[in-house]
Structure 1
Amino acid sequence: MKSTVNIFWFRRDLRLDDNVGFYNALKSDHKVLPIFIFDEEILSKLPEDDARVMFIFDTLQEMRNELQEKYGSSIAMLKGKPKDVFKQLIKDYSIDTVFTNRDYEPYAKERDEAIEAILSEENINFKTFKDQVIFEQDEVVKSDGDPYKVYTPYMKLWKKEFEKIDLKIYYTNDFLDNLIENSRLPNLSLADIGFKKSSQKITPYTVTPTLIQEYEDTRNFPAKDATSRLGPHLRFGTASIRKMVKKAIAEKNEVFWSELIWREFFTQILWHFPHTKDEAFKSKYDRIEWRNNEDEFKKWCKGETGYPLVDAGMRQLNETGFMHNRIRMLVGSFLCKHLLIDWRWGEAYFAEKLHDYDMASNVGNWQWVAGSGVDASPYFRIFNPTTQINKFDKDLKYIKKYVSNYGKDSYPDKMVDHKEARERCLKVYKEAVS
């Protein structure tokens, strides 16, 4: 007779400590089998040298090694469609409960509902936990229960609600001996998953007291490289949001803290309004007659627009998988406003290239620059890509780092005149939204 186990399913929470669902699984009445599923539904859409897949793979191998050396356990590495994987697990093990942390993206919600239905048929419990945010879903809403659509009042209530809670860190060390004793759980290679090593690497994050204290003064200057690089680590859960919030509070830095709250604002917007991944939040913006010139889009993607700060940003993205936040706003605005190319084209390109791609934040920010989202930039606000250089890269350090042909004959002419593009944009937008 098979002994009964509980399963913990790692997803966007790739760490052993301060992991809410993992902590609760370890404290349960049965030995815990940790698993990770390389989901074919997701992998099939990615290039074979995707740096994010390599990062997930390497992180899991480090976690496996730690569990093998210290606890005689491991993490089962599995590949396939989650529904098929769980049907097999049900055959292989006597399972009491599957524990996991909640994911709020539309695909993840549908996937989890399907898994819960399969488990329910076998009388297996499915328990999910809040882990990747401080407040989720409808925990910070208006008095009538409606979600906030503007950041500032959301942020103010978020902070009020935060004062009421005891921000607990979920230390797992005392409970790791409740893992299943099996150091030979299934493993996979990158090749088994259908991938190979990437030339790009996800940078470790830096959240020192100095970085937080100087964040407000330095964060807008791309040449300084003074941002935390936390994005991918919050996305994949190699950093704990609770620990990061504690650091922001310890240094009393409202701006750094505010950036973490923005992330939760966009997460709850996507949860309440899942259609926004494909449609404008303000539906009248779907009436815009985008030009959608494919040749111009390709030039934007390659960083060959003739506007050096835009080009530096796009070349940084293509070369490294990262783009400075200040420059993301500029390149997004340039695509939507100067070229009149649909924000969804840009959002999809960022989804392919950005190491820290997160659907909620990416969609939220693209709709912001397009003017179509919640709390959006007004449509008549159009960044001037030349004067932005004077504000944020006046010594041209960032531009020269990424635009090797800047100032040379090989550097392209401006693909569009700023004044003409601005007037064209205002006319097209006004016709659509008036």
Structure 2
Amino acid sequence: MSRPRPDIDVRPIGEAEIPEWIRALNTGFLRSPGVSEDEVADRSSYLEPARTLGAFEGGRCVGTFRSFDQRLTVVGGADVPADAVTNVTVTATHRRRGILTRMMAADLGAAKERGDVVATLIAAEYPIYGRYGFGPATTMTEWTVDVPRAGLDPRWAGPEDGGRVDLVDREDVTKLGPELHERLRRRLPGAVSRTERWWQIETGAVHLDRAPWVEPFYAVYRSATGEVEGMAAYRCDEVWEDKQPAETATVRWLIATTPAAERALWLHLCSIDWVTKVRSGWRGPEDLLPLFLPDPRAARITTQADWLWVRILDVVRALQARTYDGEGALVLEITDRAGPAGGRYLLEAGADGASCTATTRAADLTLDVGDLARLWLGDESAARLIALGRVREERAGAGRMADALLRTPGRPWCPDMF
């Protein structure tokens, strides 16, 4: 049980407290707690003081929390304003004292007042965030490809569709990448906006790690008409065993707006001389990668887990923002211990749009706000949650109706860590 400590002050940090806040952040993530002048200058350039919280005991920071503006794409291609949560730590000596609960309450309260529809985060640990109303809304898969077994013999020489794959410099990535990503984001439920700073980090213009910057390779796929439809960043190690190459290509990120671009980039990676293994990085749960290979068994799943967590702050706007393939009405009783999303709502959906209103009608389903987040982007099944006892079916057949309305043919995916 948490033991609130009145002597711990939770509040936005001041400019002079940035070094102490960074020290606490590094400590919480088990990095060396030392703070350099470069790190302070970098953080100072983008931290929003009102959205950067610290928990202080005396003059020492023992908890950190930060949020920033984000856009999250929903089913159908619209997007909603999101409160993106990151840099969450509590120092090991101060756990179980209600520090995170206080920081989370302050941030989510401000987000609700600001008009954000949801809050988002990538959870380092699974058990933490459900108690704050978050639910896992997308999953991710990592693949490892055993290149010699993939069946690319002779190795792939280039696209057969008139397109081409070129290696480019980071200046080209900065010019071409944001527009390409935005095209992808607009059609991919679960995708989030990327800031200019994201591209600066990924091209080395801003360097956060304490190890030296190592520039990756950047590959771009252009269609036969010359349009940029895909881009990837990857690094290769330098490993030889018994005078034989055994290098691994590790993908930092790969985005594509067409299957042709995705196929060309994966086959390029699996056809680089000396590369015997390809690690895919974080991919969507329905990634096409294995099926691009002559022998799909050469690609094995090395990680499969929850990824983007969502906390719905405004049920009405969230349910009205997305589209629905089915048609029907559903009354949802939403429980929310923290308060902002609790209530009973009538969802009426059809091909022409949806309305969501507060209602006194009898509920069809009763569920927690975190489980609503699981259903909202279409990745989870109401029937599964009913079987697990997480959702209560108040009217026979309501689970099937919920799946007909909310479930989507393609699964959502968030390509980003933040």
TM-score by length of 2: 0.26
* Structure with greater strand share of residues: 2
Higher helix content, 1 or 2: 1
